[in-house]
Amino acid sequence: MTSPTTRLPVLAKVLITGAGIMSLANSVTIPFLAVFLHQDLGLAPGMIGFIIGSSVFFSIFAGFVGGSLSDRLGRVRLLMFSLFGVIGSFIGLYFSDGVVAVFVFNATLALSSSTFAPVGKALLGDLLPRERRAKTFSYQYMATNIGYAVGPVAGAAIGLAGGRTAFLIGAAGYGVYLIGLTAVLLLVPVAATSAERQHAGSALRGLAESARIVVVDRRLLFLILGGLLLEAVHGRISSLLAQYLSGGFADGVMILGYVLATNAVTVVLLQVVVTRVTEKRNPVTAITVGCLLTVAGMAGFAFAGNLWQFVAAMVVFSLGEILIYPAEFAIIDRIAPEENRGAYFGAQTFAQIGVFIGPFTGGLLLGAYNGTVMFLGVGLFALASLVIYLLVGRRVPGLAAAAPAPSEQREPDDVV
């Protein structure tokens, strides 16, 4: 029987469930945004690419600023504000009938949703003792992937793909989450952290201080670089596969569909099993194995010649993904000072620059050489990232060993 002390707090369960709700709402709308912009508004491919691509930079900005401000203004306040922002953005997109309106509301959508992500993870860190956070991040990651596995298929099946109605469905999904989160917060209020009480009312000064702390922490800067290199591989693997398969295989589109479905199914089915195996091991070990599996998966793509070889490569690649993402969050959580946890998780969003670097590098390699060189070349980013994590892991107390030594237990969470 599970004792009360080992159960997840109600708010933590809501945050995990909410991750699934948000990804479901996003996946019904965001993947089909290009279709909407082309079919409904008649925009040219260049303008569509600009509108969609620019959201990455808004996301990076919002992630750091939102995470940093949550250390000063409070997690809950920022979470509620960002949920209202997403709902308003979806409604705005529904009524948009021009380029400017679409650009503005797509930007506010990126700003709002990217504010929520690091703040939500920081709040989970506030709610749980350190030894339980990695497992909880894994559950949150699994919930997110369940939403992304179901959303596109459901959206296409009921005729929402590329239509305006999808934006209202997305807004409704976030509205359900907002109502549920509000109800739980009313029943179980979250106490402000000491940092929030001390710094309330000094948001700008706190933001500048957070930026200074982040910049001077070399471990964090190297971890961001390592995350950026991994994001270059994992962030847009669908783009690399789409470019290669659509141009080199007669049934490339069919293969792509099966391969992407394999990624979602593998993550959903194996996340819990993998988490149970790795939860008592340090996250650097998980990332080491994950990087090696990622490289093996990319090599599999490079030499695959039929559907089942691509599917097998994606299973290996997805196992690497399962190991890497929760471990990245666990490492950031381990080095983050309690009073600046939001800023550290927010700074991690700079790794999203890799979302641009990966497809861009892959496109150059594919154009100059071939698909084999593209997959192997981009896969080298994962090896470079592995070197960074191995070097930085030696400098982070508690990661080189199974548990932190008493002298390393600087924060109250370490001794829970």
Structurally, at CATH architecture level, domain 217-400 sits in Up-down Bundle (1.20)
pLDDT above 60 for 401? no
Q: Band the pLDDT of 159: cuts 50, 70, 90.
A: low
Give Cβ neighbours of residue 191 (< 8 Å, ≥ 6 apart). none
Mean pLDDT of the chain: 81
Q: What is the pLDDT of residue 37?
A: 82
pLDDT of residue 204: 64
Of 178, 173, 164, whose CA–CA distance to 35 is shortest?
164
Provide CATH code, domain 8-212.
Answer: 1.20.1250.20
Q: Where are the domains of the chain?
A: 8-212, 217-400
Residue that wins the pLDDT comparison between 372 and 138: 372
Residue 299 pLDDT exceeds 90: yes
How many C-beta neighbours within 10 Å does residue 355 have? 20
Residues 6+ apart with CB under 8 A from 332: 220, 223, 344, 345, 348
Q: What is the pLDDT of residue 406?
A: 31
Q: For the chain, what percent of residues have pLDDT higher than 90? A: 30
Q: What does the pLDDT read at residue 212?
A: 75
Asked whether the predicted pLDDT for residue 275 surpasses 60, the reply is yes
Give pTM, 2 decimals.
Answer: 0.75
How many CB atoms neighbour CB 14 within 10 A?
19
How far apart are alpha carbons 403 and 280 in whole angstroms?
9
The pLDDT tens digits for 355-389 are 878 888 888 898 899 999 999 999 999 999 999 99
Q: Kindly tell me if the per-residue pLDDT of 169 is higher than 80.
A: yes
> What digits encode the pLDDT tens for the residues 56-70?
788 888 888 888 888
**The one-letter amino acid at 57:** F
What's the confidence (pLDDT) of residue 1? 38
Between 2-6, 92-96, 157-161, 285-289, the lowest mean confidence (pLDDT) is in 2-6
Q: How far is CA 191 from CA 13, 75, 126, 416, in A?
A: 17, 10, 10, 18
Q: What are phi and psi of 162, to 5 degrees?
A: 80, 0
Span 112-138, average pLDDT:
84
Q: What is the C-alpha separation between 411 and 202, in angstroms, rounded?
A: 24
Q: Which of 23, 177, 27, 171 is nearest to 87 (CA)?
A: 171
